Amino acid sequence: MKLTRPARRASLVVHVTATAGWLGLTLGLLALGITATATGSAVTVEASVRTMKLFADWLLLPSAFLTLLSGLLLSLGTPWGLARHRWVWTKFWLTLATTTATVFALRPGVNSAVAAVAAGGALPDAGDVLFGPVVSLSAYVFMTVISILKPWGPTRRGRRFRAASSGRTKIPTPVS
């Protein structure tokens, strides 16, 4: 199934907007995490981690899922394909991994920081509020770079598809 030109353009706009939002939210989380770990004010720490919780609970997951779904739609509905080019395949798996990490690592880390600070304690571990945003930001920048540069060429499946669609058949080379 191939997307029509208007559908492809709309999907691309949704995908780029969702990924830009996800990147921006992650930068915001990193700024809040740095603020929470670098300040000496208990009020500022609490405000920072509570805002991080708000971002993680209400904004980050919808952006992540919209990015994943719009990327799948684009890959399956355009000639790029999901498994025809290594850069698309890599982006898919990194998006899936970062979405999973958001659910099972980042959100629980932020929630534990909020619980500790709300109970009147200090920030238990700076890693709870810094590690997730740093890893996520690194992954998003890498995915942006490979989206622009499109390195590595086609996958084995992509080479077979290209050969079949051009009418050529690959003749096996004899083994010596």
162/165 Cα distance (integer angstroms) = 5
64/76 Cα distance (integer angstroms) = 18
List the chain pLDDT tens, one digit each, 176 residues.
799 999 999 999 999 999 999 999 999 999 999 999 999 899 999 999 999 999 999 999 999 999 999 999 999 999 888 888 899 999 999 999 999 999 999 999 999 999 999 999 989 888 889 999 999 999 999 999 999 998 888 888 777 877 787 765 554 555 55
Closest to 152 in 3D by CA, of 91, 101, 85: 85
Output b/e per residue, 151-161; b: 16+ Cβ within 10 A: eeebbeebeeb
Task: Please give the structure tokens belonging to residue 48.
Answer: 């920072």
pLDDT of residue 41: 93
pLDDT tens figures, 48-86? 999 999 999 999 999 999 999 999 999 999 988 888 889
91/29 Cα distance (integer angstroms) = 22
pLDDT of residue 156: 80
Q: Which residues contact 127 (CB under 8 A, 6 or more apart)?
A: 109
138/29 Cα distance (integer angstroms) = 13
pLDDT of residue 170: 54
